Amino acid sequence: MASGSVKTAILPVGGLGSRFLPATKAMPKEMLTVVDKPLVQYAVDEARAAGIENFIFVTGRGKAAIEDHFDHSFELEHTLADRGKNSTVENMRSIMPEPGQIAYVRQQDPLGLGHAIWCARHMLRDEAFAVLLPDIIIDPVAGGDGCLKQLVDAHDDFGGIVLAVEEVPRERVSSYGIIDPGKTTGNRLEIRGMVEKPSAYEAPSNLCITGRYILSTEIFDFLDKGVRGAGGEIQLTDAIADNLGKMPIHGVRFSGRRFDCGSKEGFVAANLHFGLKHPEIAEKVKRTATEIMQQQG
């Protein structure tokens, strides 16, 4: 298969963000800012670096700010240009995909991640597509490929379905989809089974599925049935599991540092991490963080 064979990505952005209230009362959680970029922008940048050209956002009520973010802001661009801030204008324009490369579909009912992806089914061609959960930011190792690019490369080699996986502490397995790993070669492994949000006792391993997927349209055969799984929701993990034995399914233990920005501690950690790397503010952030730590003992 030709390199960079995956061209379309789905980003589910319909979630309520209730863990971040009141911040998310009038603002989508995907627009929460890590230093100077909204969460959703990190996912889009990672996808573009992996060769993705077409984006499908599965949105919900109150998410218009996401659409505006990926569009022109004429007043702002005009005012900045008048003030000679051309590089800022260029930078803002570079955020936008080409016309027609971005589409939005509504998930009217919050029935789960599998249902969100199913809502985009008519917008896909019959070819592999990516899914990125924007709550999760993965910072590549210096000079290395992004997480989705590592998945696309594995897909070029294996075809089928490819999932990003990572170890989590045993006591955390019930928050994730957990895989049963088979034969492992380097950082790639065959997947023999998977279960959504198992108890620590039921979990087949402590390797969790972590927010980046290369999927096949075959998963819609299962999602069409609307079967409810863990938590009464239509689960993407169950739709993938339904294809075990029917096509290759692999995991990639990706290189890079993951931040779960769906949790407050992950979100604060991401701000600290990217603040400490940001060329304009790194030194000041380091000084301030050190001072605060010393004061708080």
Nearer to ligand G1P, 56 or 132 (CB): 132
CB 102 within 8 Å of CB 70: yes
Q: Which of residues 164-183 bind ligand G1P (CB under 6 A)?
A: 176-177
* 209 touching ligand G1P, by CB under 6 A: yes
At closest approach, how far in Å is the CB of 175 from ligand G1P? Answer: 7
* Number of residues engaging ligand G1P in binding (CB under 6 A): 13
Nearer to ligand G1P, 8 or 235 (CB): 235
Nearer to ligand G1P, 9 or 133 (CB): 133
Nearer to ligand G1P, 50 or 133 (CB): 133
Residue window 3-42: x/- pattern of binding to ligand G1P, with contact defined by CB under 6 A: ----------------------------------------
Window contacting ligand G1P (CB under 6 A); options: 2-10, 122-130, 151-159, 208-216: 208-216
The answer to whether the peptide bond before residue 204 is cis (omega within 30 degrees of 0) is: no
In angstroms, the first-to-last Cα distance of the chain is 56
Q: Which of residues 131-160 bind ligand G1P (CB under 6 A)?
A: 133, 136
Q: Which of residues 234-253 bind ligand G1P (CB under 6 A)?
A: 235-237
Structure tokens at 107: 């998930």
At closest approach, how far in Å is the CB of 104 from ligand G1P? Answer: 20
At closest approach, how far in Å is the CB of 137 from ligand G1P? Answer: 12
Give me the residues that bind ligand G1P (CB under 6 A), please: 113, 133, 136, 176-177, 196, 208-211, 235-237
